[in-house]
Structure 1
Amino acid sequence: MNDTQNYTYQKEGCPFAAKATALLDKHRIPYRVHVFADATEEQLFKEEQGVDTTPQIFLDSQRIGGYDELVAHFGEQPEAE
């Protein structure tokens, strides 16, 4: 069983979510993925968290932010678009 407190909240097929999860994999950080069921669920999440974009990454239950913030968290440079 995966008891991790690390999560990504994302839309299906989001390229930034794919980059974020690849970065987590690179650092061997276990995580769970929550894919929003629909736009309404995503909008409610954004309002609840006070954010404008997804994905949002949480490490040890603390919100890191999106892909760019995760890259900065690891002290790396963003992957080229």
Structure 2
Amino acid sequence: MTQIDPSSCQIKLYRMSTPEHVCPWGLKAVKLFEDCGLNFEDIKLESRAQVDEFKQKYQVATTPQIFFDRERIGGYEDLAECLKMS
């Protein structure tokens, strides 16, 4: 994984948050960003159709997905590892 300084990036978090299910890993990502004092855009995928469209567009199997600038970091565990390295 490329070393990235998250404090100098535009951070976007895409996470599932439907009436039926709120992704626990997405909530963990929110907490991790807040605990690290990082500003991020919290983009909630609020329907199954939005989730499916997102997964197809980025060719991923799961949410959440985190982007630093335009580079996809990955999911929660990838984020935690990236922040540990920075």
Q: TM-score, normalised by structure 2?
A: 0.76
Q: How many residues align?
A: 73
Tell me what 1:7 maps to. Answer: 12
| Paired AA for residue 42 in structure 1 | V
The reply to whether residue 33 of structure 1 matches residue 38 of structure 2 is no
Deviation of residue 27 (structure 1)? 1.5
Higher helix share: 2
CA distance in 2, matches of 1:60, 1:26: 20
Identical-residue share of aligned pairs (%)? 32
- Deviating beyond 3 angstroms after TM superposition, the runs of 4 or more aligned structure 1 residues are none
CA distance in 1, matches of 2:70, 2:11: 6
Gap regions ≥5 residues in structure 2? 1-8
Over aligned residue pairs, what C-alpha RMSD do you find?
1.6
Name which of structure 1's ranges 44-53 and 67-76 shifts more when overlaid on structure 2: 67-76
| Paired AA for residue 15 in structure 2 | Q
